[in-house]
Structure 1
Amino acid sequence: MGVLEIRKVDKVYQSRGKPPVHAVRALDMEVDKGEIVALLGSSGCGKTSTLRMIAGFESVTSGTITLGQRRIDELPPARRKVAMAFEGYSLYPPLTVRENIAFALKAQQLSHGEVSRRVEAIARLVEIEDILNSYPRSISGGQQQRVSLARALVRDADLYLLDEPMGQLEPQLRAVLRGRIKGLLAERGMTAIFVTHDQTEASALADRIAVMEDGVLQQFASERELKDHPANLFVASFIGEPPMNLLEAEVARADGGFRLSIGPDVVFQLDGQTLDPAAGRALEQSPRVRIGIRPQKISVGNGDVRVRVVSNQWLGDQSHVAGEREGRLLIAVTPNKIAARPGDIIHFALETRHLHVFGADGNCIRHAEAA
């Protein structure tokens, strides 16, 4: 059992004169003690609604939320032992930065010296020690965001919820704080969930990532699992930069297995003996499938697939080469510089062992073989 258990949670927003909005649908999740989890998805996918239901700032339409074996979905926010850093900061304007951070500690009946020590330590961590005596109206948005983050992290809580915790920070500071915050959470065994639309941030901070779309949890796994074993087409195309190449293929039985054709001269053979029985049955019932291959798994300069170069970008440590074949675009990533201009014809190599196969329902039939 996880320290946080979310069971069949739905959130429906009702608005007079407008159709209801089903923001979160039958969400099931378990978060382990000391685990750092990212809720990742595009705007409107349900991730912030989920966070606010856990915190108690949104009601649960149906389902239950349990924290440390206490059901909390019907408790007021103050009784949940949850600390939250809001995307909108929500600082108290009449209080200084120091007083804002210390506010949550007053209920713990700590000594003045202990409160000061904690406030100054967390202020150093997020680099705001020089503005402790300033008021929220006099500091920048990025500084306000760090104050909100410090106010949440300074507390003693069973769970820490961070809504886009570093979205307003400049890239260099964001990279530094990611490492510091992850170190703090890990050192103290703090359980945390944070919302982000930034894959880099999710990968850098989280032990596991919950990918959401249209209110539905698509997959909940480590970054490596999401990339190597995507559950469906959405996860395959959403996770990874550049995203997975996806192509339609025709399926035919052949030589005890299956032939996947994306054209008369590009055919992949799947050995029936190595396929999972469920994958074999799915392929038998699917005249067409989608195949996917990561850009990093396409070899440039050799192979049987002729493409016309659309773009060729050298990014300092890798080349991103986009090639068109029969109206379909393929992107390859290679650590080498490629001497090719738009309009040139070059060759890509796509190997069967690197293919993911997705059925008509979008679910993955076959994953690429392990490297």
Structure 2
Amino acid sequence: MLEIRDVDKVYHTRGKPPVHAVRALNMDVRTGEIVALLGSSGCGKTSTLRMIAGFESVSTGSIALAQRPIHDLPPARRRVAMAFEGYSLYPPLTVRENIAFALKAQQLSRAEIASRVDSIARLVEIEDILDHHPRALSGGQQQRVSLARALVRDADLYLLDEPMGQLEPQLRAVLRGRIKGLLAERGMTAIFVTHDQTEASALADRIAVMEDGVLQQFASERELKSRPANLFVASFIGEPPMNLLDTAVAQQEGGFRLSAGADIAFNIPNQSLDPKAQQTLAQAERIKVGIRPQRIAIGSGEARLRVVSNQWLGDQSHIAGECAGHLLVAVTSRKIAARPGDVVPCGLEAGHLHLFGADGVCIRHAEAR
């Protein structure tokens, strides 16, 4: 298990204000688990990965791997394998020699080394360039060599920094499945950095969503979508992202009424709220509510949506439109015959809403399907 406790990372540059890249990070990664660090550029995910690997020092806090404190150890003593976004291959060595480099230090036999190199090369489809040097390779080929060099090692933890960012989509999709199978079959513990939600969903058992150096939520993809911890996670996770509406709050008998304009209002009964949520609503004048595009019913309901765009993606329709002054996006598996300017009925049900307090924390999740 990897245990990260109260880790901060502050970068100091002479003549410039300090940059607080990671703030009070606490996270446990179970043995054999695959975890994605997901977030936008500058959110702290790569700094976190590099602190685990030992290429960046920890400003405060501790990191333990397999019950060994490692935050003060040099990288070579951490039993961590890392594939770098910038490849970091050895230019004088061939691809085969780059992959085999760490294996030779383990004093394995030549036959064992050759077998393992050939096996991992087939997995990432670089067996035809094993005798080439890095300078002769494309960016995508170099990235696969870096990935192979990390995965071929025996390590307690595998760290992958944007492991497939340079690959074309078709190859990326194939390798995701193969790498996931390899990690699961061997019970390998892995953390990878990505800004691609599809990649995170395809590879990871759990996803750590980061923003501004802070871990926003650490959960499965299903939980992130159905039970987002806050407004950031709600708006960041999902494609298309959650629709967010600003609503006025009014108490009424048996609950609350949330109004997002003259034509959009929701009745929220007290029995759907826990005591803390009731108190929050009772003290609020306005709150944000969110609804997933997949939970908006197109073709039925009391609201009216003026279509702005209608895209058929082969298996679903993405319909964007204006409803009571709000721009909403709806997703349906049906092909909808609606052109820009058409007005279609749509349904927005109170049970499908996520409610967020003034601090952005979710106070009520939508009902399960």
Normalising by structure 1, report the TM-score.
0.98
Pairing 1:134–2:126 present: no
Identity %: 78
Matched position secondary structure for 2:115: helix
Preserved contact between residue 247 and residue 288 of structure 2 (Cα < 8 Å) = yes
Residue 91 of structure 2 is matched in structure 1 by: 93
Between the aligned partners of 2:263 and 2:83, the Cα distance in structure 1 is 55
The counterpart of 2:268, out of the listed 267, 270, 276, is 270
Q: 1:248 Cα shift?
A: 0.5
Contact (CA 8 Å) 2:262, 2:324: kept in 1 or not? no
DSSP-derived class of the 2:318 partner: strand
Pairing partner for 2:286 from 282, 285, 288: 288
How many equivalent pairs are there?
369
Q: Which residue is 1:107 aligned to?
A: 105
| In structure 2, C-alpha distance between the alignment counterparts of 1:326 and 1:313, rounded to whole Å | 22
**In the alignment, which of 119, 138, 145 is matched to residue 143 of structure 2?**
145
Deviation per CA, 1:16-39, whole angstroms, max 9, x where unpaired?
111111000000000000000000
In 2, Cα distance between equivalents of 1:160 and 1:39:
13
Q: Measure how far apart 1:110 and its partner are.
A: 0.4
Runs of 4+ in 1 over 3 A off after TM superposition: none
Which residue matches 1:306? 304
Secondary structure of the structure 1 residue equivalent to 2:18: strand
| CA positional deviation for 1:263 | 1.7
1:184 corresponds to which of 182, 202, 216: 182
Q: Distance in 1 between matches of 2:272 and 2:163?
A: 45
Please list the CA deviations of residues 288-334 of structure 1 after superposition, one character each: whole Å capped at 9, or x if unmatched: 11010000010111111112111111111111111112431000001
Measured in 1, the distance between the counterparts of 2:87 and 2:151 equals 14
- TM-score, scaled to structure 2: 0.99
Corresponding letter in the other structure for 1:232: N
In 2, Cα distance between the equivalents of 1:363 and 1:89?
Answer: 39
Deviation at 1:148, TM superposition (A): 0.2
State the 1:265 CA deviation. 2.8
Q: Which amino acid aligns with 1:339?
A: A
Secondary structure, aligned partner of 1:202 = helix
Match of 1:29 among 27, 30, 40: 27
For structure 2, the residue ranges without an aligned partner over 5 or more in a row are none
Query: Secondary structure of 2:272's match?
Result: coil
2:335 is matched with 337
Q: What RMSD in Å do the two structures reach over aligned CA positions?
A: 0.7
1:181 corresponds to which letter in structure 2? I
3-state DSSP of counterpart to 1:105: helix
Residue 45 (structure 1) aligned with residue 75 (structure 2): no
What are the superposed Cα offsets for residues 28-56 of structure 1, whole Å, 9 maximum, x if unpaired?
00000000000000000000000000000
Shift of 1:268: 0.9
Report the Cα distance in structure 1 between the residues aligned to 2:287 and 2:337, rounded to whole angstroms.
34
Higher mean Cα deviation, 339-348 or 150-159?
A: 339-348
Aligned ranges for residues 1-371 of structure 1 at < 5 Å? 3-371=1-369
Q: Which amino acid aligns with 1:93?
A: P
- Partner Cα separation in structure 2 for residue 95 and residue 60 of structure 1: 32
